[in-house]
Amino acid sequence: MMSDIASPCIPRGPEYLEATFGRIVRIWWAYCWRHMLYGGGAVIVIQAIERAIGLGERHLLLSLSSVLVLMPVQVVVLGLVLHKQFRHFSIRLVASPR
């Protein structure tokens, strides 16, 4: 009857996957389209606000306000991608050995 006793589960270490071109492209695309969507939306809102307060027709992509808005947008988008479950893998942060 000893064989009926469940053996203790020994936790395995993380399974590391090779950073293949296909996986890298999937991660890049997940970041890129979200950044274009959220960043583009943020730039349109900032442009509307700047025009409404009379800052004129200066080139928005070179304005300091667009840079200040896009930096936090990039951080949010990166957080979304880090939490994304891809088809055959996910991105996880692993603590460095001490």
Residue 77 burial by Cβ neighbours in a 10 Å radius (0-12, 13-18, 19+): buried
Domain assignment of residue 10, yes or no? no
Angle (CA) 37-43-45 rounded to 5° is 105
Q: What is the pLDDT of residue 56?
A: 62
Per-residue pLDDT of the chain (98 residues; tens, 9 = 90+): 555 565 567 767 777 788 888 888 999 999 999 988 988 888 888 878 877 877 666 665 556 777 788 888 889 999 999 999 998 888 888 877 87
3-class state of residue 90 by DSSP: strand
Domain assignment of residue 95, yes or no? no
Q: What is the pLDDT of residue 19?
A: 85
The whole domain housing 26 covers: 20-82
Number of domains in the chain: 1
3-class state of residue 26 by DSSP: helix
Residue 36 corresponds to which tokens in the numbers above? 């274009």
Smallest CA-to-CA distance from 39 within 81, 82, 72 is with 72
